[in-house]
Amino acid sequence: MQSNSVKVEKLIESTTSWDGTSLPSYPSGQPKISIMKIIVPPHTHLEKHHHLVINAGVIIKGELTVILENGKEQVFSEGEAIIEVVGKIHYGENRTSEDVILLMVYAGNETLPLTEQQ
């Protein structure tokens, strides 16, 4: 039975991360997909870190500012998609008075960590 109520909306598609850098190749080895729900409390920032694998997600609630080590920043609001930087030191910051909730999908392999703290 076909449903006329199903809607598909592409949120984002790109070969670059949010800062315009080309995405790296996928790692070799057995693929592993991880989906993470991240909650950032009000007026909180994450530790500086970098990712070893391609990851992308959606801001489910709130507004998150992502800051690169060089000071470049981008604000992502509720409903917006993000393709994260890979191999660049950065951190996320919630500058608002409500939780930020984001869902992130990581495309790695069985041996690489998703994130390395700085």
Position 18 in a domain = no
Position 9 in a domain = no
* Among the ranges given (1-10, 62-71, 82-91, 109-118), the one the predictor scored with the smallest mean pLDDT: 1-10
46-89: pLDDT as tens digits:
999 999 999 999 999 999 999 999 999 999 999 999 999 999 99
Query: How many domains is the chain partitioned into structurally?
Result: 1
Query: Which two tokens mark 13?
Result: 């598609």
Position 44 in a domain = yes
Provide the domain limits for residue 103: 31-117
Position 6 in a domain = no
Query: Which two tokens mark 47?
Result: 């530790």
Position 26 in a domain = no
Nearest of 56, 70, 64 to residue 106 by alpha carbon: 56
Position 17 in a domain = no
What CATH number is attached to the domain comprising 65?
2.60.120.10
Residues β-bridged to residue 83: 56
Position 16 in a domain = no
Position 12 in a domain = no
Nearest of 118, 112, 110, 108 to residue 84 by alpha carbon: 108
Q: Kindly report whether the global pTM for this prediction surpasses the value 0.75.
A: yes
